[in-house]
Structure 1
């Protein structure tokens, strides 16, 4: 199995899409991280202000507790489990002491201070320390604590201000989702732009591809077009290669012609010399020279067809070839009461030399006329695989399967009384195979022989 061909457009688009995707993901994560830091910084500033307010106004009470003389103005500190809390703990020689004051919102579940955070607060005495902990309503709290010493005999205390950080986290998540949506739309727009850019950027490549296809299909003799400086040298090299190919084909044709002339003249001399004598030796030489002549014609024709088939851009109209052959055969066989009719798809072209197509169709049509009772039909069109077919049918006696198999062999004649050399159908088979085609024999609708020629070609749109 052939490996799948890799597309340059797909490669460029895929590479750009991956780079865009990575860049957008990094940008989205970066922006989300910055927004998260901004939200937490705002939250920390609010908690720091609350701690500063409590520290500035904290005073001992008659019952041994400590209360700020001026409570934080936010009413949520007075609503149970509202999400905003403050708390004051004693600090003693053994570390963290009991709770001596708190907001009403704490109710009966004081803010937990883990030992490691208590150690940090004591180590950073007088400085705010931030940490996260589970709160009274089991929500995640953002806590800022500050250890201070009250004036006079107030002793050391730890002031805590906490706030439910779930709204802040939800805000960050909303921002992340919005960012993902925006970047997704932005990414799709960038991807569409990349595809458009690649298509426009590779436009000259596609134009060159079409120009080369025009040469291959015979619509043009050279790769023509206004190509960028990066592609023009390639176009020039292709045109040089095409010129060289044509020169090689022309030289091959010249050599084939010279060889034909060099061989056919001595053979003709031998045939002429032996035609005046009916001796056994003369008959033997005459038979062998006639065989040589047929073989030379066959192999020279095959060599010429091979040279034509390798030529780039060879192309001819099927309509014209079939029309010319049918008109010629109608004139030849009109006296015998035989007619040739042709119909098919217009605009059909054979990718090959006209004289080769004429020889193939002409052999089939002439053979059909020899055996037809009254009518020969030529039809042509396009198959599903893109190849063209030319079908020649007659209303003659036809052939059975064994005869059809024998008829395709070189030099085999099923009726020695009919004129010919026995090479007609084999010549068609050889020429068709040179072009990558084939000849199929079958039974015609009228009962005679059906010869179906399959060749490479195309129909102009």
Structure 2
């Protein structure tokens, strides 16, 4: 658009200059055509410097003056009496041999076109200056500038609209492609189905091939992990039964059971890590209240003797930018920990972030977590307490899932005097950009 503007202004300037020169030439030619009539009138009537003879010029808008060798006006026609013609002689001095007219400005910058004849008039050497009023030319120039500006503005507006419409039309296939890719990311479709122009067909074909291979590989990966989990669990359970037989020495039995527990924890962690967080590749959100209600009913039965009061500061419209399975895994681990360590109160709330993301806060009135251990508890195999129950992988899996969504998880102090687990997630649109 800048190039079009520059070219348009340059062409308008060239046209204006050409028109200006053409009009100046027209004015000069007209003055030259009428000059013999002016001179003939002056010769027949004579030029008297005592004003005893008529000084009338024959044509309206034309006037004359005589300049002596000293640059002074020594005679003016009747039409020129209204003007002092200051500096006229200085502007035309030495131009007597020119066959063309020249523009001059006298008095209050008033424009005239002048033709100069050098010679001797009534015995006095000087220059006769024939003048034509340039008021019509000035008016034309002002009107031309205004018309040129209006024409240029209208042309640029029209060109801009045409360019915008052309750009929109040319970019429509890319907009369609963006929409379809968004639908794929939201799992509304699995491939690009719209008809695209010839230039985009190789790109669309390649994208469909990549997405199909990704879906196939993801399914195969999940099936392999499920098979592996079943095989490992069966064999670990069998080894655990064998190790508990009385024929094995107590210290050997304890060592074997400890190693089997560690192996089981490692297997469970790697399997969960592989099966969760995969949905971060897709743009989707999950209602939070539904997940919390389902987990609350289950945990209320497990920890019925504690009578935990769960304060849900969330509404049915609150959604978390996370896949359903991943959100279930994260909230299941955090709420289970909350019910386990809380004394009587547990609170969950959702807050908006300035960048458009969300913040989740799960707080309890339990013993809390010391600052020295707040980073360690998200590492595999580290538990909040030293009780033998649990494998120490729940919070590590939570951290992996949150990080896969470009989020952050941390522990703070709660005003309930316990621990506060804070999860901050960016808006869905940021996943696509990143």
In the alignment, is residue 376 of structure 1 matched against residue 352 of structure 2? no
SS of the aligned residue for 2:177 comes to helix
Match of 2:96 among 118, 135, 155: 118
CA distance in 2, matches of 1:89, 1:453: 96
SS of the aligned residue for 1:25 comes to helix
How far did 1:224 drift?
4.8
How far did 1:29 drift?
1.7
In the alignment, is residue 73 of structure 1 matched against residue 21 of structure 2? no
CA distance in 1, matches of 2:55, 2:307: 128
Match of 2:153 among 172, 184, 205: 184
In the alignment, is residue 247 of structure 1 matched against residue 222 of structure 2? no
In the alignment, is residue 260 of structure 1 matched against residue 229 of structure 2? yes
Contact 1:86–1:159 (CA<8 Å) still a contact in 2? yes
How far did 1:365 drift?
0.8
Contact 1:246–1:311 (CA<8 Å) still a contact in 2? no
Considering only aligned residues, what root-mean-square deviation do their CA atoms show, in Å? 4.3
SS of the aligned residue for 2:255 comes to helix
How far did 1:298 drift?
1.0
Equivalent in the alignment of 2:324: 354
CA distance in 2, matches of 1:135, 1:343: 86
Contact 2:355–2:426 (CA<8 Å) still a contact in 1? no
Q: TM-score, normalised on structure 2?
A: 0.77
What does 1:289-368 correspond to in 2, within 5 Å? 289-305=260-276, 308-309=278-279, 311-312=281-282, 316-340=286-310, 342-368=312-338
CA distance in 2, matches of 1:112, 1:389: 87
How far did 1:259 drift?
3.5
What does 1:268-307 correspond to in 2, within 5 Å? 268-276=237-245, 277-305=248-276
Q: TM-score, normalised on structure 1?
A: 0.73
CA distance in 1, matches of 2:77, 2:299: 116
For residues 239-283 of structure 1, give each alpha carbon's deviation from its aligned partner in whole angstroms, at most 9, with x where no partner exists.
332212112222222333344344444433322211113432222
Contact 2:290–2:316 (CA<8 Å) still a contact in 1? no
Aligned length: 419
CA distance in 1, matches of 2:273, 2:420: 24
Equivalent in the alignment of 1:123: none
Change in CA separation of 1:331 and 1:68 when aligned onto 2, cut-off 3 Å: farther
Unmatched segments (≥5 aa) in structure 1 = 1-15, 77-83, 91-98, 121-127, 149-156
Match of 1:53 among 37, 40, 43: 37
What does 1:391-410 correspond to in 2, within 5 Å? 391-402=361-372, 404-410=374-380
For residues 400-438 of structure 1, give each alpha carbon's deviation from its aligned partner in whole angstroms, at most 9, with x where no partner exists.
434545544433345434732333323322332233323
For residues 423-455 of structure 1, give each alpha carbon's deviation from its aligned partner in whole angstroms, at most 9, with x where no partner exists.
332332233223332322223333332222334
For residues 134-157 of structure 1, give each alpha carbon's deviation from its aligned partner in whole angstroms, at most 9, with x where no partner exists.
668986542235799xxxxxxxx9
How far did 1:288 drift?
0.9
Unmatched segments (≥5 aa) in structure 2 = 120-125, 430-434
